[in-house]
Amino acid sequence: MSNEITPLSSPTVEALSEATAEPTAESFGEMLAQFENAHSQKDEGGTKQLDGTVVSIDADSVYLDIGFKTEGILPRSAFDNNAEGIAQGEKFPVSVKGRNSEGYYELSRLRVEQPKDWTALEEAFTQKSAVVGTVTGVVKGGFTVDVGVRAFMPASRSGVRDAAEMEKLVGQEITCRITKLDVAEEDVVVDRRVIVEEQARLLEQSRYSEIKEGDIVSGQVRSLASYGAFVELGGIDGLLHISDIAWSRVNAAEDVLSIGQQLQLKVLKVDSESKRISLGLKQLEPEPWETATERYTVGQRISGSVTRLMDFGAFVELEPGIEGLIHVSEMSWIKKVHKPSDILKPGDTVEAVILSVSPGERRISLGLKQALGDPWAEVPQKFPVGSEIEGPVTRLMKFGAFVQLAEGVEGLVHISEISAERHLNHPQDVLRVGQIVKAQVLGIDPEKRQIRLSMKQLVPTSLGEYLEEHSEGDVVSGRVVEQSAEFALVELGEGIRANCRTTASTPVAADNQSNAGLDLSSLTSMLNARWKGGATPAGSKPEPLGVGQIRSFRLAKIDRTTEKIELELA
């Protein structure tokens, strides 16, 4: 370290670098003593003065180098003949009075006496009480302060950080504490920061005792974090959590707040021990859920924006602070939705129907599919039992095939109702997805949303065709296949059988065995050939009935609903 300490008129990089260090009081005292010894002289009265060297003269002033970075200034009137004849390099003893607005040190050619109440300073040092002083200049590593005697204040103990603040401190009256006092060497070191910090602590303590829960306070946003904002409340900070900024969902504090913004806030909680204050902004506005039932009712159709998607559903903002939930099961009539993202995304505007409102639980259940209309509401009217439908096969299962009747409406054709002609192991044996088929509605269960269909009911059968071609009273041919005392079972065609009541006057063959051995295939051919006409020639005598006989019969009664036919001999 150099033995010479060069005072500065304004902070420099060197001064700021010294400010980051924490020199000992003794080293600063030595530095100040070295400065005094190198740059001052004592007259007989003990008054310290500086040697000033003339460096320039203008119309009004004389500028002198006094060993500081900034020059000192004297008015020309301070010299004989208004400084006429004064040349550069001449030396004059001067004293520093202070600094002017331009930053120059104001000098005096007279001795400037410094009061030296050492007794008071010693008492203040012993009691560690505060003293008042005036910052007179910036020197390497700190400041010179007039506390009745010239004292040194390290930059690190000044309470300021940058060059601009250091410059502003010169000329100000400060409160400080003496940390070193050597009367013999006139070595005094003071500390301003310790007083500033004590005052801050006292202010903080008083503020914590003054602020109460429920108070409305004013503050300035000091910093923003992912979880909220810190607000300065006049010496202390409070936390405005992100959940207490607004009734609506806030993703990031910077979306709605900015540093330096002034806010009116409500004090939610004060913890003096942990020095934490919780603040609320939204609490100054009415709670929207308190009056939710006045605006939202079951069955109401509403519009909102999707805010977020979860596995179980989608949240929709109805107004700031109020969200409703569309459960995944309430999203579509048409298909099974496995996850909300299949049909929705954040930011979508949707229309929904309110299914339930629970203000106490802060919950509103919404239905998306209800706003689209229930396609099953008109199914019984549009597809009554017995009606014929046509549609594409949508799915094939082992037990049957699903057929689409309308958007969102499907019916099931059970495997047993697909074909009457063959036994199926799987519907895919005769059907494929996308194939257009016709079916008959067998039954409807609106509550279970099930429709039973049949394809085979629409395929004409032999009996059906026979009934379409004949009416009651027609005379037809038939073959007796079974016989009892009262009835004879007659085959009118392949798979078509009817009963014929027998009476006492009806001849019965004595030996039914005579025809038992007939070739049945030949009989069937003969029967088919004679169905269109009478089996017995006109005028011939009726033969007794016997199994295997082909006879003429009259269609006595036809029940098309039960598909039953009653015969009588023609």
DSSP codes joined into one string, 61-113: EEEEE-SSSSPEEEEGGGSGGGGTT--TT-EEEEEEEEE-TTSPEEEESS---
- Write down the pTM of the prediction: 0.41
Amino acid at position 337, single letter: V
In this structure, the answer to whether residues 403 and 421 fall within a common structural domain is yes
- Are residues 55 and 166 both part of a single domain? yes
- 140 lies in the same domain as 49: yes
Same domain, 53 and 156: yes
The residue segments making up the domain with residue 114 are 7-191
Residue 354 is predicted with a pLDDT of 93
Place of tokens 């936390």: 239
**Does some domain include residue 246?**
yes
CATH number at residue 411: 2.40.50.140
Same domain, 267 and 364: no
Is position 346 within any domain?
yes
Q: Whole-angstrom Cα distance, residue 117 to residue 131?
A: 12
| Distance (Å, whole) CA 106 – CA 100 | 6
Whether residues 171 and 233 share a domain: the answer is no
Residue 566 reports pLDDT greater than 70: yes
The angle at the Cα of 568, spanning 566 to 570, to the nearest 5 degrees, equals 140
Q: Are residues 236 and 385 in the same domain?
A: no
pLDDT digits (tens, 9 = 90+) for 133-163: 889 888 888 899 988 888 999 999 988 888 7
3 state SS of 378? helix
Mean pLDDT over residues 248-276, rounded?
Answer: 87
With 60 as the cut, is the pLDDT of residue 507 above it? Answer: no
So what's the pLDDT on residue 173? 86
* Residues 264 and 217 occupy one common structural domain: yes
Please identify, among 347, 371, 395, the residue that sits at the C-terminal boundary of a domain: 371
For range 212-240, the mean pLDDT? 88
Beta strand 322-327 with 363-367 is parallel
Quote the CA–CA distance of 481 and 489 in Å, as a whole number. Answer: 6
Nearest to 439 by CA among 374, 385, 378, 399: 385
Neighbours of 73 (CB within 10 A): 22
pLDDT, tens digit, 9 for 90 and up, residues 150-207: 899 999 998 888 878 888 888 888 889 999 998 777 789 999 999 888 888 877 777 7
Q: Are residues 384 and 454 in the same domain?
A: yes
Last residue of a domain, one of 371, 400, 418: 371
Q: Alpha-carbon distance 206 to 194, whole Å?
A: 18
Closest C-alpha among 64, 62, 137 to residue 99: 137
Same domain, 216 and 160: no
Average pLDDT, the chain: 80
In a domain, 91, yes or no: yes
pLDDT on residue 424: 86
Q: Where a domain ends, among 396, 430, 458?
A: 458
Q: Residue 464: which of 437, 443, 493 has the closest Cα?
A: 493
Which two three-digit tokens encode residue 117? 């109440």
- Residue 78 structure tokens: 């301070």
**216 in a domain, yes or no?**
yes
Tell me the C-alpha distance between 528 and 532, whole Å: 8
Do residue 365 and residue 380 come from a single domain?
no
> What pLDDT was estimated at residue 160?
87
Q: Name the β-bridge partners of 74.
A: 62
pLDDT in tens, 393-436: 999 999 999 999 988 889 999 998 888 767 889 999 999 999 99
Question: What is the Cα 230 distance to its own chain's centre?
Answer: 22
CA distance 179 to 24: 10
Q: What is d(CA 155, CA 142) in angstroms, rounded to the nearest whole number?
A: 4
> Do 150 and 122 share a structural domain?
yes
* Number of domains observed in the structure of the chain: 5
